[in-house]
Structure 1
């Protein structure tokens, strides 16, 4: 993951230099807008994973095969519908709403069409990705992640050797890479797993269950998409593509760090579903709480050095970063820290399967961010304000999620505060103070001193987590692992 993150950061620098700030901003907002039509993709993935996990937990390969076949056929038909919908609505939005330089409109349309094609293959690949997660085969993900990072770097470097339109070339090569990756996932799963057999299958009862789960899940992810990519389009409407370039940079930093956390949460998800499906409710709650706590700690350890040295990192990384990139990175990472608490709760809700109350109430609360941001921009005209509002609303969303979870399982909010929020506060305060003092006493000037700062930062954060953030049995486990490593 560290290798992938390093390559990703360097790739972004090469791409920004090759495309320029305007084209980079166009790619961020137009490509992101096209991908917004994939807001339901996580719903499809979550539904397929849940039903596959239940079937595999019961060791029922025939049921798993039925889930796979029905999902695969349904996703193909849905991808055709999305292709048409994206082309109609997306083109209207580009021509009538987005602020794009006239001489780059043709390139923006090229980016949009290329991204829609990529979306088609991605949607059809969801079922194969779901199988890998349900089977807990994360090694393949790691290898493909390395391939994708290196392929993106190769694409970025190739831009420097062409006189053609670099934005068009970049989007075309990126689509090609996406198609290759999705075809590999399909071929691998078909060859390795018995339940992955292409063919038409119809089961009305199973389809109804999948549709219900997907429907409510889709509503929730639609709200997420509106408050994510919707914010980028809102910024474009008020400030143009230059601000989108800064937001695009912060999104890449956020995504690179989130990849660590996503891997951790994804690894716990099959176990959460299987525990609930087999009636292990106390371990289910314990794993949900513990994964919330460790998810936050992981994000904190990775985010603190970036937060305190973000301006130097952006300068080393990009040379001349877009204006406001530093402020966007700060709030993007604060948002990610808060969001790391919600992901395990969302996994628990999906394991239970009763999404209606969670989606309706949580969706209403979270959707407030968009209108509040619009009004805030009208009043204050500050491009960073939407991220601040989004972070505050997301924090409220954590406790709304807990209140809804309490309806379905024996979950104590007081217990959550004691086992999750309390240790987090005890870690954040000394770790934050330690980093403030470290920054005051030691100010890195170059990449070597920055790496040294990062090592000290990691040591400070891990020490605070070890002393204040984990329980005695967890501390004993850490000691045992350290002793084993030393004796190797």
Structure 2
């Protein structure tokens, strides 16, 4: 376990450097964009982005299939099979881009004509932004096979470099908005459409130069049987992502219908903040996921389950490490970030962070079930659960429920999805529910309670401000770290951490 663990930690280190840079640039970019566009135009941009993401799950489903088969083949050490998968992926993603283009046009016409609540004088600008986002999405779709190659080779260093370039370009766009005299929303949409084209070109050139499976020969490396197998896997994954992504992004349209543009601004801020916090755990998972699939490819089910359980636990802890102090001090954090945050932003941020935190408890199970190649039943269950969220939320609003009812419904649905994933992990992978409760749920809940209780104490005897924020964050960080080592780690995990720490210390001493 030591060698893969060291590799995961090293790749996670590259990703965390990326996180530090990207998060700083993104937070500052969002502040500039909100200031340059204004609350109303910022809300319009989030509506258009939500509509695009609603259909982006089609690409996401195929991306998961590509990464699964590429990593599985890497575990099998089958070079020719990797070339076949790469070329099949190129063909499939070309057609996905074409399908999405057609669907975006149709859905856009319906939404702009009959559904969206946008002021008449901003409809044209919103339509231009929507078209720019379509172009951006098409380039993102075509980059998936290359992202899958980097993922299979666990090359998180180059992935991190591309991410930093992307975030830097977004900051440049935000700064340029203050120098524009024409419609800033239209200019913002046009410039944002160029960024995926640049990052796609960088990634494509690198992969073709460094990886032998990146050979474009559609006739030589085409396998109809493997194409049907990947398409079937993607089809069932499509159901799961359809229910999940449509609900999450469709919530923007529901909130817009019942609350208006200003509510969408608060919703957009909440999604961005939760996304920034989530990258600390999701990027660790990005380093872990190929290892899980490779272990299944090596037919080592025991190790696959061990990495999956450890992934859930540490994903939750990493997210809680930042989420708990931020939730405690959310009003002041948003004030520092945005100066004047939109109404409901504090409440929305807290609720969406809670939902994401619960989701981390079973976050690697999707990868583990997918590694077996049989995701049909789990995908159907998740699709049914999440599909109910929007109509239930609409019914709540019709009955006079408060505007945050959407978030409460989504929290409940995420809990149901976690139960479904746990059931299918038991059924298909042999995971015991008792093992999950013992190794994941119990330590995660215990660590969270200790961290939250010690952090919230400061609210009762210190005034709001930077000093209290610093005290809350430092205390929460220390309590989370200590309780994780004392209560959250198994003997084997402690042994690995102690070994890594000893190597670091000895390396420093030897240099001196």
Distance, in Å, in 1 between the alignment partners of 2:152 and 2:496 is 27
Partner of 2:244 in structure 1? 224
1:126 matched residue in structure 2: 144
Alpha carbons of 1:5 and 1:443: their partners in 2 closer, same or farther (altered >3 Å)?
A: farther
Show the counterpart of 2:5: none
Could you tell me which residue of structure 2 aligns to residue 6 of structure 1?
Answer: 24
The separation in 1 between residues aligned to 2:472 and 2:452, in whole angstroms, is: 14
Number of equivalences: 487
The answer to whether residue 308 in structure 2 is matched with residue 288 in structure 1 is yes
1:440–1:467 CA distance, 2 compared to 1 (3 A): farther
* 1:161 maps onto 2:179 in alignment: yes
CA contact under 8 A between 2:90 and 2:142: conserved in structure 1?
Answer: yes
CA distance in 2 between counterparts of 1:132 and 1:276 reads 19
Q: Does 1:189 align with 2:203?
A: no
Equivalents in 2 of 1:384, 1:417: separation in Å? 30
Give how far 1:107 is off. 0.4
Q: Which of residues 175, 184, 200 is equivalent to 2:193?
A: 175
**Alpha-carbon separation, structure 1, partners of 2:264 and 2:451:** 32
Partner of 1:22: 40
**Alignment partners' CA distance in 2, 1:449 and 1:426:** 24
Paired with 1:320 and 1:51, the residues of 2 have a C-alpha distance of: 47
Alignment of 1:40 with 2:46, yes or no, is no
Cα offset, 1:449, TM superposition: 5.5
Give the one of 315, 324, 339 matched to 1:304.
324
What is the RMSD computed on CA atoms of the aligned residues?
Answer: 1.5
The more displaced of 99-108 and 377-386 is: 377-386
- Greater CA drift, 48-57 or 62-71: 48-57
Q: CA deviation at 1:277?
A: 1.9
Question: After superposition, what is the alpha-carbon deviation per residue over 1:48-92, rounded to whole angstroms, capped at 9, x for unaligned?
Answer: 111111222222111100110111012112211210121122122
Q: What does 1:222-371 align with in structure 2 at a 5 Å threshold?
A: 222-371=242-391
Cα distance between partner residues in 2 of 1:8 and 1:441: 33
Shift of 1:451: 4.0
Q: How far 1:471 moved relative to its partner?
A: 2.1
Aligned residue among 483, 490, 493 for 1:474: 493
Contact 2:58–2:96 (8 Å) recurs in 1: no
Native 8 Å contact 2:455 2:473 kept in 1: no
Give 1:483 shift.
4.8
Q: Are 1:114 and 1:172, in contact at CA under 8 Å, matched by a contact in 2?
A: yes
Report whether the alignment pairs 1:207 with 2:227: yes
Question: Which residue number in structure 1 is paired with residue 71 of structure 2?
Answer: 53
Match of 1:151 in 2: 169
SS in 2 for 1:40: helix
Residues 98-113 of structure 1: pairs in structure 2 closer than 5 A: 98-113=116-131
**Correspondence for 2:405:** 385
**Contact 1:328 / 1:384 at 8 angstroms: preserved in 2?**
yes
The answer as to whether partners of 1:35 and 1:115 remain within 8 angstroms in 2 is: no
Give the TM-score of the pair, scaled to structure 1: 0.96
Q: Name whichever of 151-160 and 32-41 sits farther off.
A: 32-41
CA contact (8 A) 1:155 1:174 kept: yes
Q: Deviation per CA, 1:4-27, whole angstroms, max 9, x where unpaired?
A: 212211111110000000000000
